[in-house]
Amino acid sequence: GAVVSQHPSWVICKSGTSVKIECRSLDFQATTMFWYRQFPKQSLMLMATSNEGSKATYEQGVEKDKFLINHASLTLSTLTVTSAHPEDSSFYICSAGGGGGRNIQYFGAGTRLSVL
Amino acid sequence: AQSVTQPDIHITVSEGASLELRCNYSYGATPYLFWYVQSPGQGLQLLLKYFSGDTLVQGIKGFEAEFKRSQSSFNLRKPSVHWSDAAEYFCAVGAPGGATNKLIFGTGTLLAVQP
């Protein structure tokens, strides 16, 4: 149980284009989903917290117009990197809250974004 | 503010040797504590968690961790390391009763296993 699917696993795009990453909880309902960014050999940086049916809460310094998050259902959240530039190249990981108020998060396998 | 410190950036152990990865946290009360493992190019897998009760918790893949309140520590241990344990390990804390269920991650410890 507690499987989170993230798609695509790797995407290459041209500078200026937008890229959408999907995060799905396959066997449980996730009221809260989280989006992280990870630079090489570094820890996870929380970008935003999304709750189903409401606007995402972005961490300080994260551009909400650049990183659009939608959490339309209890099993799906999407991150859209708009007008991507090479500096947006990174590893993006989503997680889904397991519920129960105990902060358990189940992670997707991550998406490697390369912007040319 | 909550924080997590993993003092060891990189550790190398021989296969079959014991392992201890250190984790210290800063929090006003007893937080929820987690250890996650990340293989290269992959997401994070939950190894074990501590909420309350018995301070020695067992996890998957033969790992265990001990919560020591007096030392604000939650060190991860394994008695005999296997080559497949080579990965990055992250300690994380969460605030009980928090509205957002956020986790704060340490900077990670990269484990290398020598044959």
A100, pLDDT greater than 90: no
Work out the average pLDDT over B2-20: 95
B99, pLDDT greater than 70: no
Half-sphere exposure of A102 toward its Cβ, with a 13 Å CA cutoff?
12
> Contact B6/B21 with Cβ under 8 angstroms?
yes
Position B30 scores a pLDDT of 81
B9, pLDDT greater than 80: yes
Position B101 scores a pLDDT of 75
Nearest CA distance, A82 vs chain B (angstrom): 23
B74, pLDDT greater than 70: yes
Position A98 scores a pLDDT of 66
A101, pLDDT greater than 70: no
Neighbours of B60 (CB within 10 A): 10
Residues of A in contact with B45 (CB under 8 A): 107
Partner residues linked to B32 by β-bridges: B94
Position A60 scores a pLDDT of 93
Q: Is B52 touching A (CB cutoff 8 A)?
A: no
- Give me chain A's average pLDDT, please: 90
Nearest CA distance, A55 vs chain B (angstrom): 13
Residues of A with a Cβ under 8 Å from any B Cβ are: 4, 6, 32, 34, 41-44, 46, 49, 57, 91, 93, 95, 97, 101-110, 112
Position B100 scores a pLDDT of 65
> Contact B25/B72 with Cβ under 8 angstroms?
yes
Position A15 scores a pLDDT of 97
Residues of B in contact with A97 (CB under 8 A): 101
The mean-pLDDT minimum among B13-22, B43-52, B58-67 falls in B43-52
Instruction: Read off the pLDDT band of A65 (50, 70, 90).
Output: very high
